[in-house]
Structure formats: structure tokens, C-alpha cells
Amino acid sequence: MTKENYIYGLAYNCPCLQRNEDCPLKEVNLLSFEKKVKWIQCLCVEKKEAIFAHHKACSNKENRSTPTCKVFHAACGFDR
């Protein structure tokens, strides 16, 4: 699976707990999943990469690593 595919999952729900105030996906939290998909489809590659990088950095912070987050990271290759 590609990083872009994981962004759809991140848009649906944060696997590490709840979104921090600086989360770039916080602005789409209240949108329907269909609207989130359309929003993601309109993003440029650089913005998608920035969202993915933000999640990686955020979830590596202390007290943010839940079992769900660890599974997500393994699937994304963060642990390699």
C-alpha cells in the first residue's frame, strides 16, 4: 500500500489517539468520509507527503504510541 492510501485512513481517524491541534487533518475532522476523499484527491503530492511526515513525527512523540498506532507504523514501514 502507498503512503497516499494511508492518508485516507488517517483522514478517517487518527490511529494514535486523537488529533493534536497542529494536525493538518484536523480541518477535515467533521467532514463526511466522501468529502474527505475529495479533499485528499485535490491535494498536491507535497501536501500529502507533509501530512504523512507530520503523522510520523507526531506519533513518535512520548505517550502517543498505542497498539493501533504501532500496527499502522509497521504497515507503513516506519519500523524499518
User: pLDDT per residue over 38-63, tens digit each?
Assistant: 999 999 999 999 998 888 888 777 55
- Residue 72 in this model has a pLDDT that exceeds 50: yes
- Residue 80 in this model has a pLDDT that exceeds 50: no
Share of the chain above pLDDT 70, in %: 74
Say what the pLDDT of residue 5 is: 82
Report the C-alpha gap between 80 and 31 in whole angstroms: 33
| Structural domains of the chain, count | 1
Task: Please give the full DSSP string across 26-80, using - where no structure is assigned.
Answer: GGGTTS-HHHHHHHHHTS-HHHHHHHHHHHHHHHTSTT---HHHHHHHHHHTTT-
Say what the pLDDT of residue 48 is: 92
| 14, 21 contact by CB (below 8 A) | no
Q: What is the pTM of this model?
A: 0.72
Tell which phi-psi region holds residue 47, choosing left (phi > 0), alpha (psi between -120 and 50) or beta.
alpha
For residue 19, give its domain range. 3-76
